[in-house]
């Protein structure tokens, strides 16, 4: 899976549309969300590194965000990915908060082209 986009989702349903290990994170951010949101699911295992090129593709495919809130989930986002997501005020749900970069990804699994 590269990514999956769900638009016009009632915000109270986010916790039911995310993988089990993300449910608590989704419930904790529920108060930050407006009535409807867009949910982007990236590869979400703890070992999955989500690079900025994949985030850029998803945001390009999404186009103009019509929902008031954008929620993204992924295993581990690179610093560059987080910067892109912060530009669009996304709520980021991640199992691992690391300081990896696109250029220095070590032996992690990648989910890019």
pLDDT for position 108: 42
Domain ranges of the chain: 4-110
Spans of the chain, pLDDT less than 50: 107-113
Task: Confirm if 21 and 41 have CB atoms less than 8 A apart.
Answer: no
Q: What is the pTM of this model?
A: 0.85
pLDDT for position 105: 58
Per-residue pLDDT tens over the stretch 74-106 = 999 999 999 999 999 999 999 887 667 887 755
Whole-angstrom distance, CA of residue 12 vs CA of residue 111 = 29
pLDDT for position 109: 43
């Amino acid at each position: 899976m590269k990514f999956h986009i769900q638009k016009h989702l009632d915000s109270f349903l986010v916790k039911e549309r995310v993988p089990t290990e993300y449910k608590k994170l989704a419930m904790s951010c529920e108060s930050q969300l407006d009535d409807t949101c867009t949910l982007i699911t990236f590869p979400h295992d703890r070992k999955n590194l989500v690079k900025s090129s994949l985030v850029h593709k998803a945001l390009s495919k999404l186009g103009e965000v019509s929902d008031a809130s954008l929620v993204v989930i992924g295993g581990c986002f690179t610093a560059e990915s987080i910067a892109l997501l912060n530009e669009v005020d996304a709520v980021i749900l991640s199992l691992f908060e690391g300081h990896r970069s696109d250029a220095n990804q070590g032996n992690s699994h990648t989910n890019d082209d």
